[in-house]
Amino acid sequence: MYLSIIPEPSEFKIIDGKAVFILNSNISISCPEGLENACDDLLRFLSKTLETEPDGSGVGLIEFKIDKSCAKPEGYIIKTDYDNIKIISSEAAGAFYAVQTLKQLLLQCNCELPLLEIFDEPEYSYRGFMLDSSRYFFEKEDVKRFLDLMALHKLNRFHWHLTDDQGWRIELYSHLLLAQVGGFRAYTNFGRKPHGGFYTKNDIAEIIDYAHKKFITVIPEIDTPGHVVSAIAAYPKLSCFNRELPVATNSGIHYDILCIGKQSTFDFIYSVFDEVCEMFPDKIIHIGGDEVLTERWKYCPNCQKLMKEKGFTEEKELHSYYINKIADYLKNKGFDVIMWNEDEKDGKISPGIIKQYWNSDPQNKPGERIINSSSKAYYLDLPYGHINLKQCYEFEPFPENFDKNLFLGVEACLWTEYVPNMVKAGYCVVPRLGAFCENAWSQKGKKSFDNFISKLPAYYRLIRTVPFGYALPHQAMPNFIRKTGYNIYFERRQLHWQGLHNIIDNRKVRKLAKKGRKNID
Ligand code: ACM
Ligand code: ZN
């Protein structure tokens, strides 16, 4: 009998291919206190997918047990025998992951399990997925489908990109206009339709609760000091020169960013973080920090004044000054802080901040923890012509000679400038997330692309239980790079017009600065 599991487990033995455990509605489930989330997830799967409601009237038993010494944290053991399945885990999360494995087995063997033994534990503790809800606003129920998908892949960190130039998606009572104005833009890349929406506090609490039941930590990202046009649209004073701008409609990097030279900017950002920190109980937050153009700071009297006071000679020093200041603020609240790897700008960003590498190879710096999110392999919105399934699978995230204690793990990202619905989201994410999760969970020596391909039919069956969309194998592995197509054409045309706009706009701001129109705080 051939049975497969994604991600590949540490050890998997089929001792005898004949069925020893038949799952039907007579079985019972023994669930000790503390393992309710795993048992409930199994029961939901049995009733929703297998249309079985165990009533305990027969001898068949699925027995959950905790044994702290059985595996690493999150690890588990599954053993089948005549009329019983034993699930032993080191903690509650392990029992939940055992259930994810069991689902795959039950689907493949029509509920007739052979005599088998599985020992499994994760390679990395940080196994992330990022969803960009700013460029495209996903309804609450769709966000939950992503969490369902993460759980099936044994992923445990949901990085939620909630703010960007094109939309502010988190309701904050201290600054209501952020969501009410910043949450709506005039048109999208697709169909040029108005687009918008935001998550209320109740929505966010519901999503966090849903994630926690699946052992997923929720990490909100409030991206500053760049990528803030939506916030500036709501509160122009946040920008250098108090610019009145619409929420951005075009993608790319925007020149108008937070004015670091005004105390009012820090008052704003501290009160935003005060409120965000109250909403997210996992005590870990992402502060963005990526793609900061310093053009405005160069001409802004307030920013220049601050530079002089601090003895800075280059604008990029303002960037690290700002990042370190807000990271300290968040750390004092007991939060761990992550940012994108932008510190190569001047090397002065605190090593206490976790760096998420996306556009360069990870650097080994004393004491600095890192996550690898390489855009060469893990940016799942990029076309399959750029990152095919094999490239995603075979990418080695762990840098040579790296300190293992400082390497937290990996994260796949779904940016949504060109993802206007769940159909495209499914097409982009599956099956690459299957490939990615073997990099996150499985040991290096256990991985093989050929083996992964042979597991795909069973994998697609599993994905359909969510339900979630997907690309077919031939779509996920095109053998040439398609250079035409609507997206690329549209992107080029937009970049062309945006480039012209930026040149004209930057001239306008410089003239303003020259005329000495002071930007009074
Ligand atoms: C990024 O892709 N700008 C982090
Ligand atoms: Zn300024």
* Res 364: pLDDT: 87
Within this chain, do residues 138 and 114 fall inside the same structural domain, yes or no? Answer: no
User: What are the Cα distances from residue 97, in Å, to 39, 90, 207, 285, 512?
Assistant: 11, 11, 20, 25, 59
Specify whether 68 is located in the same domain as 141. no
Say what the pLDDT of residue 519 is. 52
Minimum-distance ligand 1 atom for the alpha carbon of 227: 3
50 C-alpha vs ligand 2 centroid, how far in Å? 60
Q: How far is the CA of 519 from the centre of ligand 2 (A)?
A: 8
Q: What is the pLDDT of residue 484?
A: 45
CA of 506 to the centre of ligand 2 (A): 14
Using the 3D structure, point to which of 120, 149, 167 is the last residue of a domain: 120
- Of the bound ligands, which one is closest to the alpha carbon of residue 243? 2
Which of 154, 6, 152, 120 has its CA nearest to residue 452?
Answer: 6
Q: Domain ends where: 120, 136, 154?
A: 120
At 514 the pLDDT is 82
Write the residue with the smallest CA distance to atom 3 of ligand 1. 290
Atom of ligand 1 nearest to the CA of 340: 4
Is the residue at 510 inside a domain? no
Average pLDDT, the chain: 94
Give yes or no: residues 109 and 137 share one domain. no
pLDDT in tens, 413-466: 999 999 999 999 999 999 999 999 999 999 999 999 999 999 999 999 999 999
Q: Which ligand is nearest to the CA of 254?
A: 1
Let me know if residue 20 belongs to a domain.
Answer: yes
pTM listed for this prediction: 0.95
Residue 460 within a domain: yes
Interval 371-380: pLDDT, tens:
999 999 999 9
The predicted-structure confidence for 91-116, as pLDDT tens digits, reads as follows 999 999 999 999 999 999 999 999 99
CB of 269 within 8 A of CB of 326? yes
* pLDDT bucket at 370, cuts 50 / 70 / 90: very high
Question: Which of 161, 251, 292, 340 most suits a substitution to test ligand 1, by most atoms within 8 Å of the C-beta?
Answer: 340
Residues 248 and 231: their CA atoms lie apart, in Å, by: 10
Axis crossing angle, helix 92-108 with helix 36-48, rounded to the nearest 10: 20
CATH number reported for the structural domain that contains residue 37 in this entry: 3.30.379.10
In a domain, 379, yes or no: yes
pLDDT of residue 483: 47
* Long-range contact pairs involving 276-281 (C-beta distance under 8 Å, separation at least 24): 276/170, 276/172, 276/220, 276/222, 277/330, 277/333, 277/335, 279/170, 279/201, 279/204, 279/205, 279/208, 279/220, 280/204, 280/208, 280/218, 280/219, 280/220, 281/208
Is residue 183 one of the residues assigned to a domain?
Answer: yes
Work out which ligand 1 atom sits closest to the CA atom of 288: 4
Cα–Cα distance measured from residue 167 to residue 159, given in angstroms and rounded to the nearest whole number: 17
Where residue 376 sits, what CATH number does that domain have? 3.20.20.80
**pLDDT confidence of residue 518:** 55
Q: Based on the fold, state whether residues 214 and 142 are members of the same structural domain.
A: yes
Neighbouring residues of 508: CB distance < 8 A, sequence distance ≥ 6 = none
Query: What type of residue sits at position 430?
Result: V
Which of 12-16, 62-66, 399-403 comes out lowest in average pLDDT? 399-403
DSSP assigned state of 379:
B
The structure tokens listed for 19 are: 């069925």
CA 5/CA 232 separation, integer angstroms: 48
Nearest ligand to the C-alpha of residue 303?
A: 2
The reply to whether omega before 383 is within 30° of 0 (cis) is: no
Q: Does 60 share its domain with 173? A: no
Domain residues for the domain of 262 are: 128-505
User: Which of 290, 292, 381, 417, when mutated, tests ligand 1's pocket best, judged by the most ligand atoms within 8 Å of its CB?
Assistant: 290
Taking the CA of 252 as reference, the closest ligand is 1
Determine, yes or no, domain membership for 88.
Answer: yes
Q: Which residues line ligand 1 (CB under 6 A)?
A: 290-291, 340, 358
Contact 122, 440 (CB under 8 A): yes
pLDDT number for residue 512: 83
Same domain flag for 88 and 210? no
Interval 174-195 mean pLDDT: 91
Clarify whether residues 142 and 94 are in a common domain: no
Percent of the chain with pLDDT over 70: 95
- The Å distance, Cα 130 to ligand 1 centre, comes to 11
Q: 235 is written with which tokens?
A: 């509160």
What is the per-residue pLDDT for 487? 54
> Tell me, what's the pLDDT at 517?
61
The ligand whose atoms approach the alpha carbon of 315 most closely is 2
Q: How far is the CA of 364 from the centre of ligand 1 (A)?
A: 20
> Which of 291, 344, 373 has the most ligand 1 atoms within 8 A of CB, as the residue to mutate?
291
User: Could you tell me if residue 242 is inside a domain?
Assistant: yes
Is there a single domain that holds both residue 65 and residue 166? no
Displacement of CA 241 from its chain's centroid (Å)? 34
CA of 255 to the centre of ligand 2 (A): 12
Atom of ligand 1 nearest to the CA of 373: 4
Residue 340's pLDDT band, with cuts at 50, 70 and 90, is very high
Q: Which residue has the tokens 């918008």?
A: 196
CA of 346 to the centre of ligand 2 (A): 19
The residue out of 76, 104, 120 marking a domain boundary is: 120
Best residue for ligand 1 mutational test, from 358, 381, 418 (most atoms within 8 Å of Cβ): 358
63-70, Cβ contacts within 8 angstroms, sequence gap of 24 or more? 63/29, 63/30, 63/87, 64/29, 64/30, 64/31, 64/32, 64/35, 64/38, 64/39, 64/89, 64/95, 65/32, 65/89, 66/32, 66/34, 66/35, 66/90, 66/91, 66/92, 66/95, 70/94
CA of residue 261 to ligand 2 center, whole Å: 5
Answer whether residue 190 shows pLDDT above 90.
Answer: no
Spatial contact of 165 and 228, defined as CB atoms under 8 Å apart: yes
Q: Do 294 and 425 belong together in one domain?
A: yes
What is residue 14's predicted lDDT score, i.e. its pLDDT? 97
pLDDT band at 520 (very low <50, low <70, confident <90, very high): very low
**Which residue's CA lies nearest to atom 1 of ligand 1?**
290
With respect to residue 248, please indicate whether it lies within any of the assigned structural domains.
yes
Q: Which atom of ligand 1 approaches the CA of 379 most closely? A: 2
Nearest CA to ligand 1 atom 2: 358
Ligand nearest, relative to CA of residue 339: 1
Mean pLDDT of 468-494: 71
pLDDT digit string (tens) for 192-231? Answer: 789 999 999 999 999 999 999 999 999 999 999 999 999 9
Average of pLDDT values for 481-487?
A: 49
Q: Are residues 35 and 158 in the same domain?
A: no
Atom of ligand 1 nearest to the CA of 356: 4
Cβ-based neighbours of 118, under 8 Å, separated by 6 or more:
5, 9, 11, 12, 13, 76, 77, 78, 79, 98, 101
* Domain identity same for 219 and 355: yes
Shared domain check, 68 and 155: no
Closest ligand 1 atom number to CA of residue 413 = 2
C-alpha 327/C-alpha 337 separation (Å) is 6
Count of domains observed in the chain = 2
Percent of the chain with pLDDT over 90: 85
Measured in angstroms, how far is the CA atom of residue 409 from the centroid of ligand 1? 18
